[in-house]
A = this chain, B = another copy of it.
Amino acid sequence: MTISVDPLQASLEAAAPTTRCRILATAERFFREIGYQKTTVADIAKTLGMSPANVYRFFDSKKAINEAVVERVTREVEALIAGIAVAPGLSADQRVAEIIRELHRDCIERCKDNPRIHEMVEAAMSESWGVCRHHIDRIGAALERVVTDGVRSGEFQVEDPAITAACLHVAITRYCHPVLVSQYPNAPAPPIDAMIAFLLRALHEPARNDAPSKAREPAESI
């Protein structure tokens, strides 16, 4: 059996990762400089000296380009957080604290200092929720890893590490949600270190059996 290779196709495929990366790098630069809404696929193509049709060979739509850019940007912080989650020489407390500080720092840097980035993230949040959800899940997995480690080592005393990690994650929304950090910077919030100290207390106290009874119907869970 012989396989016929189209030389043009082969050369296109060899160039693909590079061209793909160049498109993404250019798109990200445009999104940062003039914003997601104003950027067109034609702008990106022109800057790279190629036709829009060639860009569409790699990405179906501007939305698909944005998804890839957002994924590239979020992967960086995910790698950082995953590294802290298994960092040797740090207690579970220290790892939780460091993860929260880094998530907050990253969000402040990306959003507050560069309002156009928010536009890109907001487009992803309304058009490509899957990308955002994956990011949230990966950060959640890192937090769960640390809480589970802390329980194993006896540092933390919680009944359900997965639920506890989810509570911890959702409790820091104000400090790490791009919409809140960029759009409502004046909303009151305690300093991040006070918040970390508060949350760490919840990881140490043994579960009590006298949980308050509900005075009314349970609130709808979200």
**A residues whose Cβ falls under 8 Å from a Cβ of B:** 90-91, 93-94, 97-98, 101-102, 104-105, 108, 125, 129, 132-133, 136-137, 140, 163-164, 166-168, 170-175, 177, 179-181, 183-202, 204-205, 207-208, 210-216, 218-222
Complex partner residue of A170 from B140, B195, B207, B214, CB under 8 angstroms: B195
> Once the chains bind, are A204 and B204 in contact (CB under 8 Å)?
no
The quantity of this chain's copies bound in the complex is: 2
Pick the 9 closest A-B CB pairs, nearest first: A191-B221, A205-B205, A167-B198, A202-B202, A171-B171, A94-B212, A201-B202, A101-B219, A201-B205
> Once the chains bind, are A105 and B195 in contact (CB under 8 Å)?
no
Among residues of B, the one whose C-beta sits closest to the C-beta of A129 is: B186
Among residues of B, the one whose C-beta sits closest to the C-beta of A211 is: B197
> Given that A202-B198, A222-B189 are contacting pairs, would A97 and B166 also be in contact in the complex, using a CB cutoff of 8 Å?
no
